[in-house]
Amino acid sequence: MSVKITGTGSYIPTEIQKNEDFGNHQFLNTNGTLITHPTTVVIDKFRKITGIEERRYATDEQNTSDLAYIAAEKAIQNAEIDRETLDYIIVAHNFGDVDKNSSQADTVPSLATRVKHKLRIENPYCVAYDVLFGCPGWIEGLIQAQSFIKSGMAKKCLVIGAETLSRVIDDYDRDSMIYSDGAGAAILELTKASGGIISTVSASYTLEESNFLFFGKTYNQTSDDRNKYIKMYGRKIYEFALNKVPMAMKACLDKTGFGITDIKKILIHQANEKMDEAIVKRFYELYGQEVPEGIMPMSIQKLGNSSVATIPTLYDLILNGKIANQSIQSGDLLLFASVGAGMNINAFLYQF
């Protein structure tokens, strides 16, 4: 018996925001002074570092729980299960439902409760709850679901990662170009098939690292805007990720009898193209190996960074043949990994 992902689904919002759409933005430094470089130069440098060319935003009438629900419906249909047999619905997010005209998070009731309501599930013993774990939230939800199943507390779980980061970005902050909206979902079941989740690892670094990502005021110091927006210390996050994530990936792999050459794909949080490439390069260097060509599928170029939604969305797109030159075959060994606010890190090794 093994715990496997038996169905996936994702929702990619229809509103496309291209890099050139930021051309009229007035980007400011953290102290409120104007960035002296022309906006076109700022945007070009941003693209070269992050790899992002465009991103997706939810429509004005959509919210995070709406995106989560759509992805969930697709995963349930893909798994061909009766939704009433679900034991848990776990929704990973960071900011709850955020209306278009307000950055205030709405988490009462929980997003998982809202998704269960939208799914019209009557079974009261289908437990719905949220996970707040930064960008690694979807993986953490999957790890929790696996624990429930292995312990006998559950047989089927729905794990969703959803976010509308476009609602919590400061228009005066150039980092706002990183963030996007989306949702991805997976059904996890106990099956007689081989493979599935083989090993997991999670870690939280909460001393000086805890505020690398935070909620802060707009950089426009002349504004009376009292809302708070997602902020980050990009260089510190980059250095942290390069030092800690490869070690976590190694710890996850070393728990098993597999070697690094057995890995067919690495599905890593779509945070920053250069950073992800550096993480994977350093991971292979720990084993004295070169990075194999095509080992790391990417979606960030067109979808941006949708936090908890990036990995489940990427996985679903690959399975549906929507990532060029990427596919997953039966028996393939996959390593999933993420890093984000907390600072939190996690990974799991999975045999398809």
**CA–CA distance, 182 with 186 (Å, rounded to integer):** 14
Quote the crossing angle between the two packed helices 137-150 and 310-319, to the nearest 10°. Answer: 70
Query: Strand 196-204 to strand 263-268: parallel, antiparallel, or no bridges (unpaired)?
Result: unpaired
**CA–CA distance, 214 with 219 (Å, rounded to integer):** 14
**CA–CA distance, 145 with 130 (Å, rounded to integer):** 12
Map the chain to HEC letters: CEEEEEEEEEECCCEEEEHHHHCCCCCECCCCCECCCCHHHHHHHHHHHHCCCEEEECCCCCCHHHHHHHHHHHHHHHHCCCHHHCCEEEEECCCCECCCCCCCCECCCCHHHHHHHHHCCCCCCCEEEEECCCCCHHHHHHHHHHHHHHCCCCCEEEEEEEEEHHHHCCCCCHHHHHECEEEEEEEEEEECCCCEEEEEEEEECCCCCCCCEEEECCCCCCCCCCCCEEEECHHHHHHHHHHHHHHHHHHHHHCCCCCHHHEEEEEECCCCHHHHHHHHHHHHHCCCCCCCCCCCCCCHHHHCECHHHHHHHHHHHHHCCCCCCCCCCCCCEEEEEEEECCCEEEEEEEEC
**CA–CA distance, 161 with 137 (Å, rounded to integer):** 7
pLDDT band per the 50, 70, 90 thresholds, residue 103: low
pLDDT band per the 50, 70, 90 thresholds, residue 327: very high
Place of tokens 């715990």: 3
Predicted pLDDT of residue 241: 96
Predicted pLDDT of residue 105: 86
Q: What is the pLDDT of residues 67-98, one digit of tens each?
A: 999 999 999 999 999 999 999 999 999 999 99
Rounded average pLDDT over 195-200: 96
**What tokens were used for 113?**
């409760």
Across the chain, mean pLDDT equals 95
pLDDT band per the 50, 70, 90 thresholds, residue 187: very high
What percent of the chain has a predicted confidence (pLDDT) above 90? 87
Q: Pick the residue with more confidence: 114 or 223?
A: 114
Q: What is the CA radius of gyration of the chain?
A: 20
Place of tokens 């870690």: 203
Predicted pLDDT of residue 162: 98
Q: What is the pLDDT of residues 9-48, one digit of tens each?
A: 999 999 999 999 998 888 989 888 898 888 889 899 899 9
**What tokens were used for 185?**
């979902």
Rounded average pLDDT over 273-287: 96
Q: What is the pLDDT of residues 115-168, one digit of tens each?
A: 999 999 999 999 999 999 999 999 999 999 999 999 999 999 999 999 999 999
Q: Please, what are the domains in the chain? A: 2-194 (3.40.47.10), 197-351 (3.40.47.10)
* pTM for this prediction: 0.95
- Under 8 Å CB-to-CB from 352, ≥6 apart: which residues? 195, 328, 329, 330, 331, 332, 333, 334
